[in-house]
Amino acid sequence: MHLILFIVFAGFCLAGAINLLIQSHPINSALSLIVVMTSLAVLYLLLGAEFLAAAQVIVYAGAIMVLFTFVVMLLNAGREDRTLGSRAARMVGFPAVVVILGVMSTVILKAQSLGVASLSDGITSTEELSEVLFTKLLLPFEVTSVLILIAILGAVALAHNDGEEPGEGTRSK
Amino acid sequence: MSPFFSQEVPLSWYLLLSAALFSLGVAGFLIKRNLITVFMSIELMLNGVNLSFVTFAHQWHAVKGQIFVFFVMMVAAAEAAVGLAIIIAVFRARATLAVDRIDLMKL
Amino acid sequence: MNGYLHLWLIPLLPFAGFLINGILGRRLPKWIVTTVALMAPLGSFLLVLLNALLAFTPKEFRYWNGPGPLPLMLSTIPWVETFGNWINTGILHVNFSFVLDQLSLVMLLVITGVGFLIHIYSVGYMSNDEGYARYFSYLNLFLFFMTVLVLAGNALLMFVGWEGVGLASYLLIGFYFEKKSAADAGKKAFIVNRIGDFGFLIGMFLLVSNFGTLTFSEIATKLGQDPGWNGGVVTVIALCLMLGAAGKSAQLPLYIWLPDAMEGPTPVSALIHAATMVTAGVYMVARTHVLFDHSPFALGVVAIVGAATAIFAATIALVQNDIKRVLAYSTISQLGYMFLACGVAAYSAAIFHLVTHAFFKALLFLAAGSVIHGMGGEQDLRKMGGLWKKLPVTFAVTTVGVLAIAGIYPFAGFFSKDAILYAVFLQETNGKILYSVGLLTALLTSFYMFRLWYLAFMGESRSPEVHPHESPWSMRGPLVILALLSICGGWIGIECFGAFLAPSVGSRFAEAGGWHIQIPYLPFAISLEFMLSVAAVLVALEGGLLADKFYRRKPSRPAQWAAALPTSYKLLVNKYFVDEVYGAIVVKPLLGISKFFLEWVVDVGILGGVAWLLAGIATFAGAILQRWQSGNIRSYAAWLAAGAAVVLMFILIPWTTFWPASMALIWKAVRH
């Protein structure tokens, strides 16, 4: 069971990720990313992180991606068209990606101490998580909430519209 | 069920998946032309890293890994909000979302 | 009474005056500047007098009647005050120490006394000048350095004073710095002085390496203890010191700066270039006389240089037309006399002449200043004349000064010049030749001084449009005082003076054969001296008569003689073309080398090249790196990813096993 579930949902992840790269319209990319997020939530469940799975769906797929979709629609982003690209990106970037993937894979495959994921004894209850979160790490927790508040304020300030239309900012004053 | 289906999944597969997601995120960051899509690739990278954290938390039976993921999620949320607000502001100034066209500080 | 003599105050008061007038002088009202400037030398002079009374009042003066030093009160003469260590290495120990003995006391009296009188004179002379405060601050600075020079107990501290008076001289010669000739004269003085200082420095180095000390008393002790010091190294040291003295005291061949130094204000010429600074060389030779005593060769060189300078300068002074130039060459000539005296080891005679020369030469310069002031700035003798009516006081004091310098009895110059000529005559080697040179110079001296007197004061005025007026009393007062000193300054007599100075400069003069204050005779010595003095006075009178013949009775005669001997006249008027010769041999090649080598090779080539290279590197590197900052986000992202990949590689792949092996593989692959 574990294996089948893993293969299916890992496949969904990879498919979503590759689709994100292939698609030219940003809304398609956003939807693919939602697929990746929810598949990852299932994988978290397989690894025993119940709370995180829920949080992944609620926060990531349910809020952040919705925000992305809103912005795509707000800005009326269209299909990408061909541009010059960057020589540096092609010459330096892709080898970098290959190197990153290669190095990490090599290290992972060579590692001796990894075991197997077991469904039975790897479950972390929410109670455990919250016990640490609300006693030892209470301060970071509260600071995080302040952080989100600041982010909201910042976002409001940055995106505040003084009545301008898009593109008005480029007209020389 | 046949024994195939009751096999356990080695943790290295999870980690390989995480590495693949991360690399795909970097590749997307380099390939994509739309600013919002570039930002989405960043989120993809973050998710790949989250998966690796949860994997190791499972291996060591440590709650700390999951707590770290929790905080990463929170910060990613804040970052997404602010980043998208910036993208909106940039769009208002340049009327374009093409990464290659936004290369001058002067209007 | 071994009292505390406060020697440190003597230089300090002028230094304080220098600071106050130099820093605040422009903003202070003139009377404050004057007061500060006059209080400093007056204070120093009173201190010196006090020290003289405390330390040098002889006991039982009335009962002293023989050769030998006067018994003095302060039992610890020379009085040494040390203010702490200066240099303290293994080889060399130098302190800040002031030494007061008879020689420095005499010098201090002259410096502060005549200095004070000249300060008073300057109040009147410079009263309308814009740089009033600056002038007095420089003058006080000069006094500070000069007192340090004479009080110094070791050669290094003396060198400090030596350089300092050179600096003050430069500042004062170039006082009217907007005039190019004045600025050039200041530079010339300083540079020629430096050439002499090179000799002084070499002398000091040799002293350190041979004696291990620079303190004069220790050098004297060491020379006295070891009879092996004779000739050789001592000669070299003495000659090097003589070179320094020649630079400072304007002897051949380094005298060229003194005539040009007349560009400075006249009181400056009086103080620095007549009475005090130029005598520093003589003082230095007297102070280090132990070295010269042990080296007859050096003494001979000193005597020859002195005599040559004396007659050389006297011949030039015969035909100069600027009143100050005549006096400048006269100073050089009289300094030659002093060095001649040092050259026969009659140091007390040299110092005696130094003192009397200070009196009458300062008097003559100040009187010349009075004449120039009265004539509205005119300095050419050919345009003066008939001033005896218009400037009576100046005329009277100038007459006194001229009589003194000519050496007529009973004025001051007679006694000192006579003492010198007597000592020279008694010298075994070359004594008679040097004596005849000295006598001839006395004739020339008398001639050109009377020439100046006639041209400036007697006869009818040659520029009737100028209406000269007498100077204010601030200028006339010092003139009168100096005239009185010129009259009676020599009456102390060389015997008493020499006895006073004997502990500090040696008493060779006393060995020359008995001399007494009272009348009774030792027939040979007294009559020789008497005969020589009679000869000197006759020569001086003859000079006066010749001047009378040329300039009063038949005023066209000088022009006839000049026309009759055109080449000699041209040679003398142009000062033997020495300046031009120096210019061609030394100055022009230096300028040429500097221009070619330093300007083109070093400045343009090396320095410019280095600057160009550095700028080029920066620009080039910047041009390359500029392309990296393109603004293209994707390129930035690519480089970020590459950096991350590199970091990952280095973290994840173990160092000890993988990297050396792979590096070796790559190296082998590259080499084949």
Q: What CATH number is given to the structural domain containing B76?
A: 1.10.287.3510
Q: Residue C649, class by beta-carbon neighbours within 10 Å (0-12 exposed, 13-18 middle, 19+ buried)?
A: middle
Residue B52 or C627, more confident: B52
Q: Which residue of C has its CA nearest to A111?
A: C652
Best residue in A101, A119, A132 for a mutation probing chain B (most B CBs within 10 Å) = A101
- The whole-angstrom separation of Cα C487 and Cα A152 is 107
- Check pLDDT > 70 for residue C47: yes
Residue B67 belongs to domain spanning: 9-101
- Across the interface, whether the CB atoms of B104 and C631 are under 8 A apart is answered yes
What does each C-alpha distance from B96 to A169, B79, C443, C629 come to in angstroms?
11, 22, 108, 22
Q: Which residue has the higher pLDDT, C651 or A40?
A: A40
Burial code (b: 16+ CB inside 10 Å, e: under 16) for B20-47 equals: bbbbbbbbbbbbbbbbbbbbbbbbbbbb
Q: Of C79-83, C226-230, C256-260, C329-333, which range is least confident?
A: C226-230
pTM: 0.68
- Yes or no, beta carbons of C632 and B100 under 8 Å apart: yes
Residues C68-98: pLDDT tens digits? 555 555 555 677 778 878 888 877 888 888 8
Residue C509 has pLDDT above 80, yes or no: no
In a domain, B3, yes or no: no
Lowest average pLDDT, out of A57-71, C145-159, C226-240, C461-475, goes to C461-475
Distance from CA of B3 to the nearest CA of A (A): 10
pLDDT higher than 60, residue C526: no
Phi, psi of C126 (to 5 degrees): -100, 20
Q: What is the mean pLDDT of chain C?
A: 83
CA C420/CA C533 separation, integer angstroms: 11
Q: Please report the pLDDT score of residue B5 as a whole number.
A: 64
- Give a yes or no: residue B2 inside a domain: no
Q: Does B57 reside within a domain?
A: yes
Nearest CB neighbour to C642, from listed A85, A86, A96: A96
Residues of B in contact with A44 (CB under 8 A): 51, 54
For residue B72, is it within any domain?
A: yes
Look at residue B107 and tell me if it is in a domain. no
Q: Does C651 touch chain A (CB under 8 A)?
A: no
pLDDT of C72 reads 57
Give ipTM to 2 decimals.
0.89
Residue B49 forms part of a structural domain:
yes
Q: Which of C374, C397, C398 lies closest to C384 in space, CA to CA?
A: C374
Q: What is the tally of structural domains in chain B?
A: 1
What is the average pLDDT value for chain A, to the nearest integer?
85
Q: Which positions 43-102 of B are in contact with A (Cβ < 8 Å)?
A: 43-44, 47, 50-51, 54-55, 57-59, 61, 63-64, 66-67, 69-71, 73-82, 84-89, 91-95, 97-98, 100-101
Between A and B, how many CB-CB pairs are < 8 A?
A: 257
Q: If you measure CA to CA, which chain C residue comes closest to B31?
A: C634
Mean pLDDT of A59-64: 93
Q: Tens digit of pLDDT for each residue in C182-223?
A: 999 999 999 999 999 999 999 999 988 888 888 888 888 888
Say what the pLDDT of residue A94 is: 87
Per-residue pLDDT, averaged over B39-43, amounts to 95
- Look at residue C1 and tell me whether its pLDDT is greater than 50: no
The answer to whether the CB atoms of B103 and C641 lie below 8 A apart is: no
Contacts of A4 in chain B (CB under 8 A): 5
Residue C77 near residue C55, CB atoms below 8 Å: yes
Which pLDDT does position C647 carry in this prediction? 92
In this predicted structure, what is the pLDDT of residue C2? Answer: 38
Neighbour tally for C179: CB within 10 Å: 12
Whether A86 shows a pLDDT value over 70: the answer reads no
Place of tokens 């500060």: C36
Q: Does residue B38 lie within any of the structural domains?
A: yes
Closest-CA residue of A relative to C640 is: A93
Three-state SS for chain B is CCHHHHCCEEHHHHHHHHHHHHHHHHHHHHHCCEHHHHHHHHHHHHHHHHHHHHHHHHHHCCHHHHHHHHHHHHHHHHHHHHHHHHHHHHHHHHCCCEHHHCCCCCC
E-strand stretches of C353-478: none
> What is residue C75's predicted lDDT score, i.e. its pLDDT?
52
Better-predicted residue by pLDDT, A7 or C6: A7
The more confidently predicted of residues C394 and A168 is: C394
Mutation target vs B (from A1, A67, A68, A107; most B CBs, 10 A cutoff): A68
Assess whether pLDDT exceeds 50 at residue C3: no
Residue A64 per-residue DSSP state:
I
The pLDDT value recorded for residue C476 is: 84
Which of the other chains make 3 or more beta carbon contacts under 8 angstroms with chain B?
A, C
3-state helix, strand, coil in chain A (%, to 5): 75, 0, 25
- Look at residue C93 in the predicted model and tell me its pLDDT: 84
- The reply to whether residue B20 touches residue A17, judged by beta carbons under 8 angstroms, is yes
Amino acid at C137: S
CA distance C120 to C34: 9
Q: Within a domain: residue B30?
A: yes
- Per-residue pLDDT, averaged over C444-471, amounts to 81
Lowest mean pLDDT among A8-12, B52-56, C514-518, C553-557: C514-518
pLDDT at A153: 94
Q: Which residue of A has its CA nearest to C654?
A: A107
